[in-house]
Amino acid sequence: MGVDLESAQEIRENEGKIMAMQRELLRHIFKKAVTLRYPFKDKEKVHIPSDFRGKIAFHRDQCIGCSMCFRVCPAEVIEMIDDEKGKRPMFYLDRCTHCAQCEDVCPTKAIELTAQYESAGTDRTQMILK
């Protein structure tokens, strides 16, 4: 039983790929890493630009319930609800695209986008800002 010609050619091609990968590995094995070991290490080294648009922060005491944020939100993140002080927005953060239109249109600056960029949760109810 012999090895057919196509199988032998595939083996040679795979050997060439393996050799190329080994050369690349040896070339980079002693170089300094270009990535951060986030989130396990180097968390404080993550550079956040001054104009970064992160997680929404809502200041209820400044809100006048004008619904402007609700009207301009392209992702339908905001729902207007009634509470003891009147109308106010409720935010579904899992839908937010961080476009900052709500922040820009708010006349009292009750909405701001913070520098917080970690906004994961295990349940959708954790992603609701009331």
SS3 call for 82: strand
Domains present along the chain, CATH in parentheses: 48-129 (3.30.70.3270)
- Among 8-22, 43-57, 90-104, the least confident range: 8-22
pLDDT, mean over the chain: 87
Grade residue 73 by pLDDT with cuts at 50, 70 and 90.
very high
pLDDT of res. 33? 79
Token pair of 70 as six digits: 């609700």
Grade residue 59 by pLDDT with cuts at 50, 70 and 90.
very high
Token pair of 96 as six digits: 């937010």
